């Protein structure tokens, strides 16, 4: 962590009545700085928090918003909850893998797209659901995904 974020992290620890409550905001600081959570930063966070690296890891592996590897500019997360599975999430995942040439949790060679399958994103009544970066898309179709992929690629190539 850079010095400014380390200072912010130490302030966060003292802001909460229970130190452990600062863990998620501190992890967000790290992810904002690096774009993901590097292995070395797990120990740094643990040291700031006064907890074990295993405790930090347990939080990292629970939440889908934290990443251990760099992700593409567009993080496409397909919900694999039961409602989404029953309404076509597998087809959406297969479409993305075929269209982009990536495997599950893969990133395109150009670094533009990362495709993940994640647990429930709480849009069960509007399944299948997809989250792209921090935006939710209910009742997603392959055609809508194709349109998004084309538009995103076009924006990047045009410099928009």
Contact 137, 152 (CB under 8 A): no
Q: Is the pTM of this model over 0.85?
A: no
Rounded Cα–Cα distance for residues 28 and 50 (Å): 18
Question: Which residue stretches of the chain have pLDDT < 70?
Answer: 159-160
Q: What percent of the chain has pLDDT over 70?
A: 99
CA distances from 77 to 4, 95, 115, 134 (A): 31, 13, 6, 10
Look up tokens 């643990």; give the residue: 46
Q: What domains can you pick out in the chain, each with its CATH number?
A: 3-62 (1.10.10), 74-158 (3.40.30.10)
């Amino acid at each position: 962590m850079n010095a400014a974020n380390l200072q912010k992290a130490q302030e966060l620890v003292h802001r909460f009545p229970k130190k452990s409550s600062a863990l998620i905001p501190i992890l967000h600081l790290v992810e904002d700085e690096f774009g993901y959570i590097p292995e070395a930063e797990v120990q740094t966070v643990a040291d700031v928090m006064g907890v074990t690296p295993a405790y930090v890891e347990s939080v990292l592996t629970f939440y889908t918003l934290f990443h251990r590897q760099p992700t593409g500019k567009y993080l496409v997360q397909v919900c694999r909850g039961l409602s989404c599975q029953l309404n076509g999430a597998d087809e959406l995942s297969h479409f993305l893998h075929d269209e982009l040439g990536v495997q599950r949790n893969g990133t395109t060679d150009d670094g533009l797209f990362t495709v993940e399958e994640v647990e429930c994103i709480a849009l069960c009544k509007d399944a299948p659901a997809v989250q792209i970066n921090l935006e939710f898309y209910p009742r997603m179709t392959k055609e809508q995904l194709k349109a998004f992929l084309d538009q995103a690629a076009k924006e990047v190539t045009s410099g928009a």
